């Protein structure tokens, strides 16, 4: 800013601090590009305008407190710098909170390796069930689904144990490596 502009800023801000509303428009026209340029040097373009607007509103809100003995440009940039820093801190906090609010969701299907292993296991189990006597397979499927055939409880438990024993035996033969 050239000395003339700086001097004009001092006069306008002093006048506004005294309550001269006529100084508002020229001060607004002088401050807005100044603050926007300042914020654009310190922040990414998409955030700079927001920060500049916040700084502008804060400066006008505090304009009545301005002490004419102070340098208007330094006072203005002091507020703007504080606002830019606040904006930066808030943006970082929002990003951190955003990351914290979305914890890594466990994929119910698991990792691709786990999905492949589960698929292989299901296929092996299916083949083993096919090789079992139909009665044993039906008993195990009913047990797995939580169904209770029209049988006494003790009889059904014995049939389940017997079918599981045969399945284990068959499994050992077919899948020694498991």
Partner 1 sequence: MTISEISETNLRLAARRAYEVGRLEGALWRGAVAALFALPAFLMCGRTPLSAFCLGGFALVVLAGRIRGVAWEEGAHAGAVAGIAPCLLPALVSKLDPALCAAHVAGVPWPCALGGLIAGAILVLRGRTSAGLPFWAPALAALGFAASLGCIPAGAMGFAGLLIGVLAGGAPALVVRRALS
Contact residues for partner 1, defined by CB under 8 A: 16, 18-21, 24-25, 28, 32, 53, 56-58, 60-65
Phi, psi of 141 (to 5 degrees): -65, -40
Kindly state the smallest distance separating residue 99's Cβ from partner 1, in Å: 31
15 versus 129: smaller Cβ distance to partner 1: 15
Torsion of CA 138, 175, 123, 158, to 10 degrees: 20
Residues 6+ apart with CB under 8 A from 49: 36, 39
60 versus 143: smaller Cβ distance to partner 1: 60
Identify which of 116, 139, 137, 134 has the alpha carbon closest to the alpha carbon of residue 125. 137
Q: Which residue has the tokens 């330094």?
A: 74
35 versus 140: smaller Cβ distance to partner 1: 35
35 versus 167: smaller Cβ distance to partner 1: 35
26 versus 170: smaller Cβ distance to partner 1: 26
Q: DSSP string covering 89-104, please?
A: HHHHHHHHHHHHHSPP
Kindly state the smallest distance separating residue 28's Cβ from partner 1, in Å: 6
Kindly state the smallest distance separating residue 31's Cβ from partner 1, in Å: 9
Cα–Cα distance between 139 and 159 in angstroms, integer? Answer: 7
């Amino acid at each position: 800013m050239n000395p003339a502009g700086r001097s004009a800023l001092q006069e306008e801000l002093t006048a506004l601090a005294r309550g001269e509303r006529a100084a508002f428009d020229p001060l607004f026209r002088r401050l807005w590009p100044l603050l926007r340029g300042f914020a654009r040097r310190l922040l990414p373009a998409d955030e700079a305008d927001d920060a500049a607007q916040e700084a502008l509103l804060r400066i006008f809100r505090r304009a009545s407190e301005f002490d004419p003995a102070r340098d208007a440009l330094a006072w203005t940039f002091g507020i703007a710098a504080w606002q830019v820093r606040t904006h930066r801190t808030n943006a970082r906090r929002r990003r951190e909170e955003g990351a914290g609010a979305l914890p890594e969701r466990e994929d119910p299907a698991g990792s691709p390796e786990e999905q492949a292993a589960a698929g292989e296991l299901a296929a092996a189990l299916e083949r083993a069930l096919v090789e079992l006597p139909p009665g044993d397979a039906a008993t195990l499927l009913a047990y797995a689904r939580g169904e209770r055939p029209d049988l006494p409880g003790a009889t059904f438990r014995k049939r389940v144990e017997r079918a599981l024993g045969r399945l284990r035996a068959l499994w050992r033969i077919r899948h020694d490596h498991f």
